[in-house]
Amino acid sequence: MDELRPLSLLCEVTYRCNLQCPYCYNPLALRDYRDELTTEQWTDVLRQAADLGVLQAHFSGGEPTLRADLATMVAAASRAGLYTNLITQGTFLDDAPLDRLLESGLDHIQISIQAPQTEPADRIAGAAVHARKLDAVQRVRGRNVALTLNCVLHRLNHDAIEGVIALAEQLGVARLELANVQFYGWAYRNRLALMPTRRQVDRGEAIVAAARERLRGTMDIIYVLPDYFDEFPKPCMNGWGRQFMTVTPNGYLLPCPAATSITALTFDNVRDRPLAEIWYISDAFQRYRGTHWMPEPCRSCARREIDWGGCRCQAFLITGNAGATDPVCSLSADHPKVVGLREVADDAELVARRA
């Protein structure tokens, strides 16, 4: 495929949400995003994305189903030839809205749960919603659309990982994503309370490995590794500005959904510039694209085109310099800071996500 082309567009259609999950990666300043793009603007963004070569559109948020025009956006994406994916917490997926989405051509739905049991799931979500989520899973299971069950793992639910797998089996789910929390936005704010322990991380990996073996061919388990425990950083977004674009509810085009945390960068808005221009020539997209910006130890590293220097947002959050090697890398001079962040505090305050 073409050398430089976006493949995936994440549409964060709203940051409104009826849940208050403390592990949310959305920005803290949720009120700054209330001037949401209109239906016509989203439709236009999706068409431009397809013209640029994007293959998949992911609708997320916030809770995307809070946009009454979501089905219209999905239909626009489908018409443009895009594969469409809905990332939802499922509390509003009643029969009628679900059928409207499927009639609009929706290809895949990801529903997230907070834990396998009502308590503590509802406590983590900050609302009594677990039962409604399970109803939504059943409704989707009964229809002709692919489904992934998702659970974000952190210290408060990591010990229930077998329970999540058992629940997925019981629900007959063919695809389960177990994603260790990534520390951005609200999750970064709450990291001391959410950080899994080393024991949890090791135990989780063993349980997932065994479950994958046992469920091979029945259930595909995707395991997103915990960020602060690895020797090398994740290839965040497969490299800055290489494959992924995110549009915020108010129209900013970002190389990654957490990029607004890099306060040293200025981003362009789809209301002001065409997507192609922002993707190919804007300062923010070009700044950390490829390998030209890399400092040592990345510059001469054999892994520089494997992990692409890791995550720019993480580098900024932890070192104050978005152009530094991701400090998760054991070769980074700042790595001791990450080791320090693996600490947990049993009395850490947990701030509920709220606007």
Partner 1 sequence: MNTARPTLAKGVKLRHDRDGSVILLVPEGALVLNRTAAVALELVNGKRSIEEIAEAVVEQFEVSPRRAKTDLTELFERLKARGFIQWTS
Considering the complex, state which of residue 219 and residue 275 has its C-beta at the smaller distance from partner 1.
219
> 3-class DSSP state for residue 204?
helix
Binding of partner 1 by 78 (CB under 8 A): no
**Identified binder of partner 1 from the candidate list 28, 55, 171, 344, rule CB under 8 A:** 55
Binding of partner 1 by 276 (CB under 8 A): no
Cis before residue 297, ω within 30 degrees of 0?
yes
Instruction: Give dist(CA 140, CA 163) in Å, integer.
Output: 21
19-27, 145-153, 298-306, 333-341 -> range binding partner 1 (CB under 8 A) = 145-153
Minimum CB–partner distance for residue 55 and partner 1 (Å): 5
> 3-class DSSP state for residue 333?
coil
Binding of partner 1 by 246 (CB under 8 A): no
Size of the residue set binding partner 1 (CB under 8 A): 24
Nearest partner of 134 among 155, 158, 154, 151, judged by Cα? 151
Going across the sheet that includes 8-12, the strands are 220-224, 175-180, 146-153, 108-113, 83-88, 56-60, 8-12, 244-247, 253-254
Please state the separation of Cα 146 from the chain's center in Å. Answer: 19
Binding of partner 1 by 32 (CB under 8 A): no
Considering the complex, state which of residue 3 and residue 347 has its C-beta at the smaller distance from partner 1.
3
150-171 burial, b if ≥16 CB within 10 A, otherwise e? bbbbbbbbbbbbeebbebbeeb
**Identified binder of partner 1 from the candidate list 216, 281, 336, 349, rule CB under 8 A:** 216
**Identified binder of partner 1 from the candidate list 68, 81, 96, 263, rule CB under 8 A:** 81
**Identified binder of partner 1 from the candidate list 4, 128, 146, 264, rule CB under 8 A:** 146
- Element of type H or E holding 213: helix 198-214
Minimum CB–partner distance for residue 217 and partner 1 (Å): 6
Instruction: Give dist(CA 337, CA 192) in Å, integer.
Output: 14
Nearest partner of 28 among 254, 354, 301, judged by Cα? 354
Considering the complex, state which of residue 56 and residue 282 has its C-beta at the smaller distance from partner 1.
56
What is the pattern of x (binds partner 1, CB under 8 A) and - over residues 103-132?
A: ----xx-x----------------------
Considering the complex, state which of residue 60 and residue 332 has its C-beta at the smaller distance from partner 1.
60
Instruction: Give dist(CA 74, CA 257) in Å, integer.
Output: 20
Please give the structure tokens belonging to residue 310.
């890791």
Minimum CB–partner distance for residue 334 and partner 1 (Å): 31
Binding of partner 1 by 174 (CB under 8 A): yes
Q: Which residues bind partner 1 (CB under 8 A)?
A: 1-2, 7, 53, 55-56, 58, 81, 83, 85, 107-108, 110, 144-148, 174-175, 216-217, 219-220
